Amino acid sequence: MDKHRTARISKDKAYDGRFFFGVKTTGIFCRPSCPAPTAKEKNVVYFQNAYQAMDAGFTPCYRCRPDLHLEFPLTNPDGSLTVEAALAKIRAGYLNTHSVAKLAASLNVSERHLRQLFIANLGVAPKKVANHHRSLFAKELLRTTAMPITQVAFASGFSSVRQFNETVKRAFARGPRELRKSVSSVASPLEIRIPYAHPIDFSAMLDFMRPRAIPGVESVTADSYTRSFRTEGARGSFSVVQSASESALVVTVQADQPGCLMEVHQRVRHMFDLDTDLAPIQACLENDSFLMRGATDVPRLPKSFCAFEFIIRAILGQQISVKAATTVAGRIAALAPCETTALPQSVCLFPTPAEFLALDLDSIGVTQRRKETLRAVSRAVLNGQLNLCRTQSFESFHAQFTAIEGIGDWTAQYVGMRALGHPDCFPVSDLGVVKALAHPDGEHRIRKEMLAVAEAWRPYRSYATLCLWQNPTPEETQ
């Protein structure tokens, strides 16, 4: 604990997220860099993560906000991927409507083994993690929205208002109404603020997304992103704008069920790459002459809202332009059923794998071979042969995906990069990459040469690829 004590006393920001500390005399827990007066060591207890601190009865500090931007340093390498996958589901509200047994089954482990992994890695069982996350999410809704308190309770995954009141008061030493009173003003209903800790060039991300937006499903303006969505129990749409003064993205949601908010919240964080600390990536890539031509900062990686939707879009993009692939994806969306009153008639929902297999694709304008590949992938997702979990290893996904006829390395790398969000994918055969890595005389390098150049960019080749794409025109990349 000596290094923890030193980091706490020196208020070292480098240790934020690596541990937390609670002060026994106040009942509050903080980040190492908290600006509050330094507590005496005898009154301090250290925790591996925020959930552990909350489980011990400590309340999040209102100055350093350790309940925001939660990081989880996992301590059991053998089970880390499983725990990360489970945490992703919990953050999206999976345990609000499913049991721990079902969560374990979805990850191909037993309930007992999953609990053991959580205790080994986080020191807290899955149910308690879910309950703490509900409390944290409810607190943000109370502080930043005008949703009725009863609606906040159910949107946060609580089964009753009584359970909600008791849990929130126990977690924050204040009841729901007191938390709401502590805010001078509230936003409109179903408007979520997602604070971010690290800088984001929101306009640049919108510029990247705009030519790739699927007609009828997505719309991108100069300052906003809007799309339709479906979750397990809800249908609707949301729009995202930036509030630079608050260092937050503002997400306005229209849905037929408020219980989707947790999942929308997590998916938007993924889309805009909010949980990535770009500092180590910048340090790795900033001095490379291939990557930083005319740029000074490594960009955030725009990712997809729905992995299946993106896979279909990526397959359509094989050998054709961005514009053509986007047009065809819009035709597919227009064919899909969209039975919900939460969306205007002009808005589409992209089909699920089951809905996709029922579509007549003769009118979309692709070859028979491409249609067979699209259907094969849909069947593989539907029957579980193709896993779309973001926390799996890229090697595992690559092997599954390329086993399907019509799927090559470029498609697997591109999907791994932008749908699953893996940081070290490298679509070496991409036209934009090939042109960016050409010799000074314009002659293209062979594959072996390009892979050798890219070795220096590990383990951040996805971000290096994005840097390379800053040079070509939009029509040259997918």
Domain map (residue ranges) of the chain: 2-60, 79-181, 276-476
Q: How confident is the model at residue 391 (pLDDT cuts 50, 70, 90)?
A: confident
Identify the band that residue 474 occupies on the pLDDT scale cut at 50, 70 and 90: very low
Neighbours of 416 (CB within 10 A): 24
Contacts of 24 (CB under 8 A, 6+ apart): 43, 44, 45
What pLDDT does 297 receive? 87
pLDDT in tens, 278-324: 989 999 998 888 887 766 789 999 999 999 999 999 999 987 889 99
pLDDT at 63: 86
**What is d(CA 450, CA 141) in angstroms, rounded to the nearest whole number?**
48
The mean per-residue pLDDT over the stretch 69-78 comes to 61
Q: Express each pLDDT in 243-261 by its tens digit.
A: 998 889 999 998 888 788 9
CA–CA distance from 261 to each of 137, 138, 153, 235 (Å)?
9, 11, 12, 11
Q: Looking at residue 478, what is its pLDDT?
A: 62
Quick one: pLDDT band at residue 396, thresholds 50, 70, 90? very high
Is 51's pLDDT higher than 60? Answer: yes
Q: What confidence tier does 173 reach under pLDDT thresholds 50, 70, 90?
A: confident
The residue written with tokens 């900062």 in the block is 297
Ordered DSSP codes for 148-180? -HHHHHHHTT-S-HHHHHHHHHHHHSS-HHHHH
Instruction: Note the pLDDT of residue 471.
Output: 66
Q: List, as one string, the DSSP characters of 225-267.
A: EEEEEE-SS-EEEEEEEEEGGGTEEEEEEEES-GGGHHHHHHH
The CATH class for the domain spanning 2-60 reads alpha beta
Query: 297, exposed or middle or buried, with CB in 10 Å at 0-12, 13-18, 19+?
Result: middle
pLDDT 10s digits, 338-377 = 777 767 777 899 999 999 999 999 999 999 999 999 999 9
Of the CATH numbers 1.10.10.60, 3.40.47.10, 3.50.50.60, 3.40.50.720, which one belongs to the domain with range 79-181? 1.10.10.60
Whether the predicted pLDDT of 181 surpasses 80: no
> How much of the chain exceeds pLDDT 70, in percent?
93
Euclidean distance between CA atoms 425 and 419, whole angstroms: 11
Local structure of residue 406 (DSSP, 8 states): T
Q: Which two tokens stand for residue 336?
A: 């899909």
Its CATH class, for the domain covering 276-476, is mainly alpha
pLDDT number for residue 438: 92
Of the pLDDT bands very low, low, confident and very high (cuts 50, 70, 90), residue 473 is: very low
pLDDT value of position 198:
77
Q: What is the average pLDDT across 66-71?
A: 72
